[in-house]
Protein backbone atom coordinates (compact mmCIF):
# COMPACT_ATOMS: atom_id res chain seq x y z
CA UNK A 1 0.00 0.00 0.00
CA UNK A 2 1.11 3.59 -0.53
CA UNK A 3 2.71 5.82 2.08
CA UNK A 4 2.76 9.56 2.82
CA UNK A 5 6.22 10.89 3.72
CA UNK A 6 6.12 14.03 5.87
CA UNK A 7 9.11 16.33 6.25
CA UNK A 8 9.44 19.73 7.89
CA UNK A 9 11.74 21.51 10.35
CA UNK A 10 8.99 21.21 12.97
CA UNK A 11 6.51 18.34 12.86
CA UNK A 12 3.81 18.59 15.51
CA UNK A 13 2.31 15.38 16.98
CA UNK A 14 -1.18 16.83 16.59
CA UNK A 15 -0.65 17.34 12.85
CA UNK A 16 0.74 13.84 12.44
CA UNK A 17 -2.23 12.32 14.26
CA UNK A 18 -4.73 14.30 12.19
CA UNK A 19 -3.02 13.34 8.91
CA UNK A 20 -2.90 9.68 9.90
CA UNK A 21 -6.63 9.80 10.67
CA UNK A 22 -7.47 11.57 7.41
CA UNK A 23 -5.73 8.84 5.46
CA UNK A 24 -6.90 5.88 7.56
CA UNK A 25 -3.26 4.96 8.05
CA UNK A 26 -2.07 1.50 8.99
CA UNK A 27 0.73 2.96 11.10
CA UNK A 28 3.17 5.79 11.71
CA UNK A 29 6.94 5.42 11.56
CA UNK A 30 9.22 8.08 13.01
CA UNK A 31 12.42 8.13 10.96
CA UNK A 32 13.75 11.25 12.65
CA UNK A 33 12.64 14.53 14.22
CA UNK A 34 11.97 16.07 10.80
CA UNK A 35 10.76 12.96 8.96
CA UNK A 36 7.64 10.87 9.56
CA UNK A 37 6.23 8.10 7.39
CA UNK A 38 2.48 7.57 7.48
CA UNK A 39 2.16 3.98 6.34
CA UNK A 40 -0.43 2.05 4.32
CA UNK A 41 -2.66 5.02 3.59
CA UNK A 42 -6.03 5.27 1.88
CA UNK A 43 -5.66 7.55 -1.18
CA UNK A 44 -9.26 8.77 -0.75
CA UNK A 45 -8.02 11.11 1.96
CA UNK A 46 -5.05 12.42 -0.02
CA UNK A 47 -6.47 15.76 -1.16
CA UNK A 48 -7.46 16.75 2.37
CA UNK A 49 -4.12 15.60 3.73
CA UNK A 50 -2.13 17.56 1.16
CA UNK A 51 -4.20 20.68 1.84
CA UNK A 52 -3.43 20.36 5.55
CA UNK A 53 0.28 19.89 4.78
CA UNK A 54 0.33 23.06 2.71
CA UNK A 55 -1.36 24.98 5.51
CA UNK A 56 1.11 23.61 8.07
CA UNK A 57 4.19 24.16 5.85
CA UNK A 58 4.95 20.44 5.64
CA UNK A 59 6.58 18.83 2.61
CA UNK A 60 4.50 15.76 1.78
CA UNK A 61 5.39 13.03 -0.71
CA UNK A 62 2.87 10.37 -1.71
CA UNK A 63 4.73 7.23 -2.79
CA UNK A 64 3.30 3.93 -3.97
CA UNK A 65 6.07 2.07 -2.22
CA UNK A 66 9.52 2.68 -0.75
CA UNK A 67 11.93 1.29 -3.30
CA UNK A 68 15.68 0.94 -2.69
CA UNK A 69 17.67 3.96 -3.80
CA UNK A 70 20.06 1.51 -5.46
CA UNK A 71 17.29 0.60 -7.90
CA UNK A 72 17.65 4.07 -9.43
CA UNK A 73 20.36 4.90 -11.94
CA UNK A 74 20.48 8.66 -12.47
CA UNK A 75 20.21 11.92 -10.52
CA UNK A 76 20.05 15.03 -12.72
CA UNK A 77 20.02 18.52 -11.24
CA UNK A 78 19.74 22.12 -12.30
CA UNK A 79 22.42 24.41 -10.85
CA UNK A 80 21.23 27.95 -10.13
CA UNK A 81 18.88 28.15 -7.13
CA UNK A 82 18.73 24.34 -7.07
CA UNK A 83 22.14 22.84 -6.41
CA UNK A 84 23.53 26.23 -5.39
CA UNK A 85 22.05 29.17 -3.53
CA UNK A 86 22.27 31.87 -6.20
CA UNK A 87 21.49 32.74 -9.80
CA UNK A 88 25.06 33.12 -10.98
CA UNK A 89 24.28 35.50 -13.84
CA UNK A 90 22.47 37.86 -11.47
CA UNK A 91 25.48 37.94 -9.15
CA UNK A 92 27.91 38.59 -12.01
CA UNK A 93 25.67 41.48 -13.04
CA UNK A 94 25.68 42.76 -9.47
CA UNK A 95 29.45 42.99 -9.57
CA UNK A 96 29.17 45.51 -12.41
CA UNK A 97 26.07 47.37 -11.24
CA UNK A 98 23.55 45.75 -13.60
CA UNK A 99 21.75 43.29 -11.35
CA UNK A 100 18.33 44.93 -11.44
CA UNK A 101 18.04 44.68 -15.23
CA UNK A 102 19.44 41.15 -15.45
CA UNK A 103 17.54 39.75 -12.46
CA UNK A 104 14.21 40.99 -13.83
CA UNK A 105 14.75 38.95 -17.02
CA UNK A 106 15.94 35.94 -15.02
CA UNK A 107 12.87 35.96 -12.80
CA UNK A 108 10.48 36.26 -15.74
CA UNK A 109 12.22 33.40 -17.55
CA UNK A 110 12.11 31.13 -14.50
CA UNK A 111 8.40 31.83 -14.00
CA UNK A 112 7.81 30.87 -17.61
CA UNK A 113 6.68 34.35 -18.66
CA UNK A 114 9.51 34.48 -21.22
CA UNK A 115 9.10 31.32 -23.25
CA UNK A 116 12.27 31.60 -25.34
CA UNK A 117 15.04 30.86 -22.84
CA UNK A 118 17.80 31.26 -25.44
CA UNK A 119 16.73 34.79 -26.28
CA UNK A 120 16.40 35.70 -22.61
CA UNK A 121 19.88 34.37 -21.88
CA UNK A 122 21.45 36.24 -24.78
CA UNK A 123 19.73 39.44 -23.63
CA UNK A 124 21.08 39.01 -20.11
CA UNK A 125 24.58 38.10 -21.24
CA UNK A 126 24.64 41.15 -23.53
CA UNK A 127 24.20 43.31 -20.44
CA UNK A 128 27.44 41.84 -19.06
CA UNK A 129 29.55 43.18 -21.91
CA UNK A 130 32.74 44.73 -20.61
CA UNK A 131 32.54 43.07 -17.20
CA UNK A 132 35.92 41.80 -16.00
CA UNK A 133 36.36 38.04 -16.09
CA UNK A 134 37.54 38.31 -12.49
CA UNK A 135 33.90 38.89 -11.53
CA UNK A 136 33.24 35.21 -12.22
CA UNK A 137 35.88 34.12 -9.72
CA UNK A 138 34.56 36.56 -7.14
CA UNK A 139 31.03 35.20 -7.50
CA UNK A 140 32.29 31.63 -7.13
CA UNK A 141 34.44 32.29 -4.06
CA UNK A 142 32.40 35.00 -2.31
CA UNK A 143 28.75 34.23 -3.03
CA UNK A 144 28.18 30.72 -4.30
CA UNK A 145 27.38 27.96 -1.81
CA UNK A 146 25.71 24.58 -2.06
CA UNK A 147 22.12 24.58 -0.94
CA UNK A 148 21.37 22.77 2.35
CA UNK A 149 21.49 19.01 1.99
CA UNK A 150 23.10 19.05 -1.47
CA UNK A 151 26.42 17.58 -0.38
CA UNK A 152 24.82 14.66 1.47
CA UNK A 153 22.33 14.00 -1.33
CA UNK A 154 25.10 13.69 -3.89
CA UNK A 155 27.35 11.62 -1.64
CA UNK A 156 24.59 9.13 -0.81
CA UNK A 157 23.35 8.71 -4.37
CA UNK A 158 26.89 8.24 -5.61
CA UNK A 159 27.55 5.64 -2.91
CA UNK A 160 24.33 3.92 -4.02
CA UNK A 161 25.66 3.59 -7.56
CA UNK A 162 23.74 6.38 -9.29
CA UNK A 163 25.37 8.60 -11.88
CA UNK A 164 25.09 12.34 -11.29
CA UNK A 165 24.36 14.88 -14.01
CA UNK A 166 24.47 18.66 -13.69
CA UNK A 167 22.55 20.39 -16.49
CA UNK A 168 22.33 24.15 -16.37
CA UNK A 169 21.34 27.17 -18.39
CA UNK A 170 24.18 28.84 -16.51
CA UNK A 171 27.86 28.81 -17.28
CA UNK A 172 30.73 26.35 -17.56
CA UNK A 173 32.91 28.51 -15.30
CA UNK A 174 30.72 27.36 -12.41
CA UNK A 175 29.51 23.94 -13.52
CA UNK A 176 33.03 22.72 -14.32
CA UNK A 177 34.23 23.64 -10.83
CA UNK A 178 31.22 22.01 -9.20
CA UNK A 179 31.71 18.87 -11.26
CA UNK A 180 35.32 18.57 -10.10
CA UNK A 181 34.55 19.42 -6.49
CA UNK A 182 31.61 17.03 -6.16
CA UNK A 183 32.84 14.27 -8.45
CA UNK A 184 29.81 14.54 -10.73
CA UNK A 185 29.59 12.21 -13.71
CA UNK A 186 28.73 14.94 -16.23
CA UNK A 187 28.13 18.69 -16.36
CA UNK A 188 26.65 20.67 -19.25
CA UNK A 189 26.05 24.42 -19.50
CA UNK A 190 26.86 27.53 -21.56
CA UNK A 191 30.24 29.08 -22.29
CA UNK A 192 30.76 32.81 -21.88
CA UNK A 193 33.08 34.40 -24.43
CA UNK A 194 36.01 36.16 -22.78
CA UNK A 195 38.46 38.33 -24.73
CA UNK A 196 41.36 40.24 -23.16
CA UNK A 197 40.07 39.50 -19.67
CA UNK A 198 36.58 40.88 -20.30
CA UNK A 199 33.19 39.40 -21.09
CA UNK A 200 32.16 40.19 -24.66
CA UNK A 201 28.44 39.89 -23.96
CA UNK A 202 28.17 36.76 -26.10
CA UNK A 203 27.70 33.04 -25.49
CA UNK A 204 29.77 30.58 -27.50
CA UNK A 205 28.00 27.73 -29.29
CA UNK A 206 24.46 26.47 -28.94
CA UNK A 207 22.48 27.55 -25.87
CA UNK A 208 21.71 24.95 -23.22
CA UNK A 209 17.98 25.62 -22.89
CA UNK A 210 15.13 23.48 -21.61
CA UNK A 211 15.17 21.16 -24.62
CA UNK A 212 18.93 20.73 -24.43
CA UNK A 213 18.65 19.87 -20.73
CA UNK A 214 16.07 17.21 -21.55
CA UNK A 215 18.26 15.88 -24.36
CA UNK A 216 21.23 15.46 -22.00
CA UNK A 217 19.06 13.62 -19.48
CA UNK A 218 17.57 11.42 -22.19
CA UNK A 219 21.04 10.58 -23.53
CA UNK A 220 22.30 9.63 -20.07
CA UNK A 221 19.21 7.53 -19.44
CA UNK A 222 19.66 5.72 -22.76
CA UNK A 223 23.31 5.03 -21.99
CA UNK A 224 22.41 3.65 -18.57
CA UNK A 225 19.29 1.82 -19.71
CA UNK A 226 17.32 3.81 -17.14
CA UNK A 227 13.53 3.84 -17.16
CA UNK A 228 11.63 6.90 -15.82
CA UNK A 229 11.18 5.01 -12.52
CA UNK A 230 14.98 4.98 -12.18
CA UNK A 231 15.52 8.70 -12.74
CA UNK A 232 15.46 11.59 -10.27
CA UNK A 233 15.43 15.12 -11.69
CA UNK A 234 15.53 18.25 -9.54
CA UNK A 235 14.86 21.79 -10.73
CA UNK A 236 13.20 25.08 -9.89
CA UNK A 237 12.43 26.96 -13.11
CA UNK A 238 10.31 26.66 -16.22
CA UNK A 239 13.30 25.58 -18.33
CA UNK A 240 13.61 22.48 -16.10
CA UNK A 241 10.15 21.13 -16.90
CA UNK A 242 11.15 19.22 -20.04
CA UNK A 243 13.84 17.23 -18.28
CA UNK A 244 11.65 16.75 -15.21
CA UNK A 245 9.01 15.16 -17.44
CA UNK A 246 11.45 12.32 -18.14
CA UNK A 247 11.63 11.25 -14.50
CA UNK A 248 9.19 9.42 -12.23
CA UNK A 249 10.90 11.30 -9.40
CA UNK A 250 10.51 14.88 -10.62
CA UNK A 251 11.31 17.27 -7.79
CA UNK A 252 10.51 20.99 -7.60
CA UNK A 253 12.94 22.56 -5.15
CA UNK A 254 11.92 25.99 -3.79
CA UNK A 255 10.31 26.27 -7.20
CA UNK A 256 8.16 28.69 -9.10
CA UNK A 257 4.41 27.87 -8.88
CA UNK A 258 4.19 26.65 -12.48
CA UNK A 259 7.00 24.19 -11.82
CA UNK A 260 5.62 23.02 -8.50
CA UNK A 261 2.26 22.36 -10.14
CA UNK A 262 3.78 20.02 -12.73
CA UNK A 263 6.32 18.18 -10.59
CA UNK A 264 5.41 14.95 -8.84
CA UNK A 265 7.20 16.04 -5.66
CA UNK A 266 8.14 19.38 -4.16
CA UNK A 267 10.45 20.52 -1.41
CA UNK A 268 9.51 23.95 -0.11
CA UNK A 269 10.78 23.73 3.47
CA UNK A 270 13.17 20.76 3.67
CA UNK A 271 16.79 20.47 2.49
CA UNK A 272 17.76 18.65 -0.69
CA UNK A 273 18.75 15.46 1.08
CA UNK A 274 15.08 15.09 2.10
CA UNK A 275 14.79 13.35 -1.28
CA UNK A 276 16.59 10.37 0.25
CA UNK A 277 13.71 9.76 2.65
CA UNK A 278 11.44 8.72 -0.23
CA UNK A 279 13.61 5.62 -0.68
CA UNK A 280 14.96 2.71 1.29
CA UNK A 281 18.65 3.24 1.98
CA UNK A 282 21.17 0.55 2.78
CA UNK A 283 21.40 1.85 6.36
CA UNK A 284 17.61 2.26 6.82
CA UNK A 285 15.38 -0.78 7.37
Active site residues: 78, 80
Three-class DSSP category at 127: coil
Angle at which helices 88-95 and 134-142 cross, to 10°: 120
For residue 35, report the phi and psi dihedrals to the nearest 5 degrees: -145, 120
The H-assigned helical ranges of the chain are 13-22, 46-55, 88-95, 99-111, 117-126, 134-142, 150-159, 172-182, 210-224, 241-244, 257-262
Are 249 and 231 within 8 A, CB to CB?
yes
Are 59 and 267 within 8 A, CB to CB?
yes
Give the angle subtended at the CA of 116 by the CAs of 163 and 250, to the nearest 5°.
35
Query: How far apart are alpha carbons 80 and 254 in whole angstroms?
Result: 11
Are 133 and 198 within 8 A, CB to CB?
yes
Query: How far apart are alpha carbons 207 and 248 in whole angstroms?
Result: 26
Query: How far apart are alpha carbons 241 and 258 in whole angstroms?
Result: 9
Strand 198-204 and strand 186-195: the pairing is: antiparallel
Query: How far apart are alpha carbons 149 and 269 in whole angstroms?
Result: 12
Amino acid sequence: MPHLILQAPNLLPSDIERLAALMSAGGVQEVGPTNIRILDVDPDGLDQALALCRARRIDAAYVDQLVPLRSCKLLAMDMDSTLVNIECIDEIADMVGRKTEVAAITEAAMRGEITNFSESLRARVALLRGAPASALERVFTERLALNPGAQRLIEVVQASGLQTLLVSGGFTFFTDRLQRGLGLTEAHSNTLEIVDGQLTGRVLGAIVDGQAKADYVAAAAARLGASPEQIIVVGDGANDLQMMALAAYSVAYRAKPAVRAQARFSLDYSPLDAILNWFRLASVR
